[in-house]
Amino acid sequence: MYCGYLGRCVLLMWIVFIVGEARADYYGQMAIGVSNFSIERADSEFTDSSIGSYFRVSGGLSAKHSLQFGLSLRGWAANDEDDDDDGDGDELIEHFFLHDFHFSSISVGADVQMYIPGFRKGPYVRYGRHCWLARVFDYRVETSENACGHIWAVGVFGGGLMVDGQASDRGGVLLELEYTRMNNVDTLVGILGMQI
């Protein structure tokens, strides 16, 4: 089911470029970020939250002026390297401040990014569809789930990277906010990345 959806996205991406754009460039992005994960509990009026890390590797085709179509691999984690309870008081306070629950996920998806007003610089919006495998553990219950969902992002892109000794019109640094909901886990990520 998931492979069929992603296959249709890739086919659509190629058709758009073949029909609409005579010339397209390749691009690649690498990004890291800080994530805020939150869960609304059915048995409580409070929301549990955790802070964790994020990475994204993506690549695809970039139209002449304002559109990019690509595939992305993303990962999220809100886990401790050492989960034993033998730490001192300060470590336990820091643990409970940062983690109401533990969360890890990996996803594969297809994205469309549009620059406003165009010309591959400045602000942009991104919409994507991704399929994930996620694990949530909160000392009461552990759940694993896989499904597909939407992903939205807004950001700003600035050029200035040097590629092959010359200033590149497609290379630069990006700052971004990305949101997705993986069943009952909301994730909001602040991202710093690089495009080549």
Domains, the chain, ranges and CATH? 2-195 (2.40.160.20)
The amino acid at 82: D
- What are 155-169's pLDDT values in tens digits? 988 765 555 555 556
Please determine, for residue 144, whether its predicted confidence score (pLDDT) is greater than 90: no
Q: How far apart are CA 107 and CA 54, in angstroms?
A: 11
Per 3-state DSSP, the chain is made up of helix, strand and coil in percentages (nearest 5) of 15, 60, 25
Residues in CB range of 47: below 8 A, 6 or more apart:
38, 39, 40, 41
At 47, is the pLDDT very low, low, confident or very high (cuts 50, 70, 90)? confident
**Stated pTM of the model:** 0.75
Q: What's the pLDDT score for residue 163?
A: 54
Q: What does pLDDT average to over the chain?
A: 77
Q: How far apart are CA 168 and CA 160, in angstroms?
A: 7
Q: What's the pLDDT score for residue 5?
A: 60
Per the CB < 8 A criterion, the answer to whether 73 and 110 are in contact is: no
- What are 66-124's pLDDT values in tens digits? 788 899 999 998 876 555 445 554 554 455 555 677 888 999 999 998 888 656 677 88
Q: How far apart are CA 172 and CA 167, in angstroms?
A: 9
Q: How far apart are CA 143 and CA 161, in angstroms?
A: 43
Instruction: Write out the DSSP string of 83-149.
Output: --S-S-HHHHHHHHHHBSSEEEEEEEEEEEEEESSSTT-EEEEEEEEEEEEEEEE-SS-EEEEEEEE
